[in-house]
Amino acid sequence: MHKDSGSKQPHLQHPQKSARHGLAYEVIDVDAFDDTVVEAGPSNVGTATTRQPDYDSVKRTPSPSKSERITKTRPVRDEGAVLRPKIESVPLETPKYGPLIVSPSVFEVDSRVWPPNKTIPYSLLAHALSTLTTTRSRITILNILTNTLRVILQAHPPSLLPALYLLSNTLAPAYDSVELGLGYSVILKAIQHVSGLSSGALKRLYTKTGDPGDVAFEAKSNVRTLVPHPPLLITGVYESLVQISKAKGPGAAKQKQSLVEKLLVAAKGEEVRFLVRTLFQNLRVGAVRTSILTALARAMVMTPPASIRDSIAADSPYYASDDLVAAVKHNPLNRLSEKFTNAERLLKQVYVQHPNYGHIAKALAEGGLEGLPDRVPFTVGIPLLPTLGSPTRSLDEIYDRLEDLPFAAEFKYDGQRAQIHGWKNAPDGSVAVKIFSRHLEDMTEKARISTSLTSYLFFSDSNLESLIMDTEIVAIDPGNGDLRTFQELSNRARKDVQVNEIKVVVCVFAFDLLYLNGQVILQEPFRARRSLLRSKFPPVIPEWRGAARLDHVKSVDSEAGRDAVEEFWQEAVESRVEGLMVKLLDSGQVLTDPSDKKDRPRRKPLPATYEPDKRTAAWLKLKKDYVTGLGDSLDLVPIGGWHGNGRKHQWWSPILLGLYNPALGKLVAVCKCMSGFSDVFYKALTEKYADGSENCSRQNLWDVETGGTPQVYFKPQEVWEIRGADVTVSPVSVAALGLVSDSRGLSLRFPRFMKVREDKSIEQASTPDFLAGMYRSQQGKGGKGEGVDDGDLLDASMESEPEESEIDLSDS
């Protein structure tokens, strides 16, 4: 559910026929049973949660059928070996857990609850996650996670890796492309099947809670299982998820659903909530990745696994002796925090260069923290997390932040980030290439053409042994090399790419070099890395027009003077690029607070090294659409909305926005928007358009034209300024339909709310003609390449383009 809740998702709008396929269950009328029925019993995990089951929405179901009201579900087939403990028997009762929400210095792993080498029940994680939801304090969150991992490290180290995956909403390293292939549809069918509730009841629960895990928890609290299930184990749940990910081919959806149902049937109490959140890959407990790494480091400091305990040196910078732990109870300001800091820095450094929990968990079990970077090293073929840029809003701001430190300003192309690895294999000298996306997915196959280019680099330079390059892959015109749009790049095939069937020609714009011939060069300043990149890898324009080109990003250095930089920015604005990336060339020092005008302002070091996983202040991005007056602004009317999820569940979010079509006197939907609203604004908005009030209806009362169907319609009455990066040709939008394409409308990329236009009435909102003009004006820039090429675009040359002054309505 973390992805989309609008028209693309059913959003529980289409009641499902009650699913009775897959694993056969008997749905049993609850009235047929009395309290003597064997019950799994409410688990005693999650004592910290304050949520209580609320049957309201179930009771309010209009004339519920018996079977959908309160039911029991009895599995009539074997529950599947995956969920069964394989080695030793595990007691059916959930263990009594002590509180995890205490300082690690006073927390003790209770050996009565946790005898060594017993597999750990999933209920420990559910308990931990449930405890996490009671706080927003970073310190407390870290304490809870640290204590949880200490239990695992002491009692059953083999559970560590699956626990890390379950806590981090992942199944495998990103570059291993393991996917659950589960989403809204399958999971809700499974919940429906297991709970026996109608889809209408689930829909009401979902609207109320805004969380599928909460829906499952409440739905299942109505169900009492007849057969007590052995407890879910951390290892077992993880294995089940892997099973789900492996279901492929015809019948896969049913197979996945059946595996989900087995998990749901076996889950008790809070386990249900977090299991379902895990299936949605959105745990929503305030801990994603950094917190988990930090907690793992701290857990290792305090409770190293037995396998390495004997080999710990007394003077280790990482491990806390029993004496130290005892001392910290009386004097918190001792060296424990120093050890935490050391361990965190070490573990994070290792992870960002080798993001693989499997390798890290194994190395920790075998040798602990000491020497970890040697056992989990930087490795060509394994992606490192990329450096990211911080947004800025003007060149002035950039000069304020970097002062007179030299920098390079580079074109920021609108393509796809690609980290290219290439190396020669030792035995036969064959060349291997891997290409990774910004989020470290392996896209070698999709980027076959860039893979060939990389191989070519090795063939043309026999001294080349290995490389890792940071690049942007951009669609280009094969004839003249003109830049093409992101949308066109997206048309590339992603699987089974045949080199002789290339439809989208690309240029690989290289902008950084991280590794060369066995040498890690992250620690070199950008000037040195760039110089190596330029000298070792000159541009390549192959003769065959379908082949990928290699080029360097267009750039200018600040040493050329501010006028040259200003001019370069103007060039970027006029070309089909997103803007500039400004990068510090040499490490230096900058003001802590550029607006601070004191005599002796504080300064902080600013390294020009490659900083994996950092949104560094040494890389500043300046995008056209951040700059007032340059981006595409539309004045749109809020015409509908959806119930939000998670922290926004009490508000309308996203909001559907419309253009005003003066010819029809009607509003036409363009896009949804969920960004740019403050909580205060949401609150006021949700009150103004209160569900059921005269301003808000389930029916399309005000006759607006919508592509999809919002959950509610708003009475059109106000105008908002909405900023976007680009106008896109949309397969779903009905806005400006027929003006640019007969079959497709127009929409907005990266829409966000700027402000209410108090001065405008809805008749003064932007029109379809205006939007179409904006699109054409955008197409006119940066060469002649057409952004969309499937023949249904209308000839723009006959239409008038709006004057530049008409484009920006943001201020007048």
Single out the segment in contact with DNA by CB under 7 A; choices: 44-52, 57-65, 283-291, 331-339: 283-291
Q: Is there a contact between 280 and 138 (Cβ–Cβ < 8 Å)?
A: no
- Give 639's contacts (C-beta < 8 A, 6+ positions apart): 656, 657, 658, 667, 669, 702, 704, 706, 710, 713, 714, 716
Is 644 among the residues that bind DNA (CB under 7 A)?
yes
Position among 153, 260, 285, 395 found at the interface with DNA (CB under 7 A): 285
Q: Show the 3-state SS of 211-239.
A: CHHHHHHHHHCCCCCCCCCCCCEHHHHHH
Distance CA 625, CA 505 (A): 27
Is 353 among the residues that bind DNA (CB under 7 A)?
no
Rg (CA), the chain: 29
- Measured from the CB of residue 354, what is the shortest distance to DNA in angstroms? 18
SS3 state of residue 297: helix
Is 263 among the residues that bind DNA (CB under 7 A)?
no
Distance CA 159, CA 118 (A): 10
Is 495 among the residues that bind DNA (CB under 7 A)?
yes
Is 702 among the residues that bind DNA (CB under 7 A)?
no
Single out the segment in contact with DNA by CB under 7 A; choices: 3-11, 27-35, 332-340, 697-705: 3-11
Residue 23's closest CA among 81, 80, 83?
A: 80
Q: Show the 3-state SS of 264-293.
A: HHHCCCHHHHHHHHHHCCCCCCCCCCHHHH
- Which residue's CB is nearer to DNA, number 5 or number 57? 5
Single out the segment in contact with DNA by CB under 7 A; choices: 190-198, 265-273, 486-494, 802-810: 486-494
| Residue ranges in 670-699 that form contacts with DNA under rule CB under 7 A | 671-680
* Secondary structure element (H or E) that encloses residue 749, with its range: strand 745-749
- Measured from the CB of residue 77, what is the shortest distance to DNA in angstroms? 19
Q: Is there a contact between 636 and 722 (Cβ–Cβ < 8 Å)?
A: yes
- Which residue's CB is nearer to DNA, number 484 or number 623? 623
Is 2 among the residues that bind DNA (CB under 7 A)?
yes
| Residue ranges in 98-137 that form contacts with DNA under rule CB under 7 A | 136-137
- Measured from the CB of residue 42, what is the shortest distance to DNA in angstroms? 26
Token pair belonging to 191: 């919940």
- Which residue's CB is nearer to DNA, number 7 or number 94? 7
Question: What separation in angstroms does the CA of 58 have from each of 144, 202, 468?
Answer: 34, 8, 57
* Secondary structure element (H or E) that encloses residue 638, with its range: strand 632-643
Which residue out of 220, 256, 262, 412 is catalytically annotated? Answer: 412
Distance CA 461, CA 535 (A): 12
Position among 40, 45, 180, 364 found at the interface with DNA (CB under 7 A): 180
Position among 624, 648, 760, 776 found at the interface with DNA (CB under 7 A): 648
Is 69 among the residues that bind DNA (CB under 7 A)?
no
State the binding string over 751-790 for DNA (x if CB under 7 A, else -).
Answer: xx-----------------------------------x--
| Residue ranges in 603-642 that form contacts with DNA under rule CB under 7 A | 614-615, 617, 623, 626, 642
- Measured from the CB of residue 751, what is the shortest distance to DNA in angstroms? 6
Position among 248, 545, 603, 698 found at the interface with DNA (CB under 7 A): 248
SS3 state of residue 801: coil
Which residues partner with 752 through β-bridges? 723
| Residue ranges in 442-471 that form contacts with DNA under rule CB under 7 A | 443
- Measured from the CB of residue 641, what is the shortest distance to DNA in angstroms? 10
Is 492 among the residues that bind DNA (CB under 7 A)?
yes
Distance CA 479, CA 546 (A): 9
Q: Is 412 a catalytic residue?
A: yes
Is 730 among the residues that bind DNA (CB under 7 A)?
yes
Is 138 among the residues that bind DNA (CB under 7 A)?
yes
Distance CA 157, CA 304 (A): 10
Which residues partner with 474 through β-bridges? 507
State the binding string over 409-428 for DNA (x if CB under 7 A, else -).
Answer: -----xxxx-----------
Cα distance between the two ends of the chain: 40
Is 508 among the residues that bind DNA (CB under 7 A)?
no
User: Is the CA virtual torsion 112, 115, 119, 125 positive or negative?
Assistant: positive
Residues recognised as catalytic? 412
